[in-house]
Chains A and B, each alone.
Chain A
Amino acid sequence: MSGAVAHLGIDLALVSSDDLLLIASIVAGFFGGALLSGLILRDTLFRMKRRYAAMLLVEGGILTATMLLALRGVDFAVPLAAMACGLQNAMASSYRGLTLRTTHVTGVVTDLGALLGNRLRGRQVKGWKFGLLLSILIAFFGGGLAGAFCSVSFRCGLWVLRRHCALCWGL
């Protein structure tokens, strides 16, 4: 989001209307996804498993639509992908009051740095916090690497999105 919002400023300065619309749609899509998550979950505390299941079903549906549109080269796939990310980020953020941001790498690295700083100052820091943040960071990197391999080496990046849709529905 930081990159997209910063890009909006560049597009405005360069009066690049095509890119401006696309980038604005990414911000709007992400916001829409987070909004949808708030509407479905209604609460910041974990209460009903069913709500999370519904969220994952919705995410799987959005990713399927993204894949189908992207395979046809339709630009609307981009805000849809952003929407799936916004939905997922907001969903995980509200899990049992734990601040888990699965698409927000800046926040993860910030938290890791702050925790390590506290630890170096001699404060006791819970091991699971380090582990959780590290697993999120490594998994995001791994997912990105897999995406790059699928897109560049095998040229099947968009098709493999099917697996992710199936994974969301399976969960």
Chain B
Amino acid sequence: MPFSKVEHEHDVFMQQSRVWVFSGAALLSAIAGYVNVVMLGFLPCR
């Protein structure tokens, strides 16, 4: 698929579902950040 078509598809998709994608990605990132920090805290107290 040509790059311009992929870009267009992404634009259309983001227009339709921007809120869902933004909040989903942010939620997953927050979980990842939390897990990273908590597990870093776990290591020194082994």
Contacts and interface: CB of A to CB of B under 8 A. Distances in A.
Given A144-B33, A151-B41, A132 B21 contact: yes
Given A73-B46, A126-B11, A128-B18, A143 B29 contact: yes
A95 B28 CA distance: 13
Contacts of A160: 34, 38
Contacts of B43: 22, 78
Nearest to B31: A164
Q: How large is the interface on A (under 10, 10 to 19, 20 to 34, 35 or more residues)?
A: 35 or more
A77 B30 contact: no
Contacts of B39: 66, 70, 77-78, 81
B36 to A, nearest CB: 6
B41 A103 contact: no
Interface residues of B, number: 30
Contacts, number: 128
Interface stretch (A35-43, A110-118, A134-142): A134-142
B34 A146 contact: yes
Contacts of B27: 139, 167, 171
A142 B14 contact: no
A63 B35 contact: yes
The DSSP consensus for interface residues of chain A is helix
A147 B25 contact: no
A97 interface: yes
A106 B13 CA distance: 26
Contacts of B26: 135-136, 138-139
A86 B38 CA distance: 16
Contacts of A28: none
A26 B43 CA distance: 12
Interface string A151-171: 110000110110010011001
Given A97-B9, A143-B34, 8 more contacts: A66-B39, A84-B35, A88-B31, A98-B13, A128-B11, A135-B22, A147-B36, A161-B38
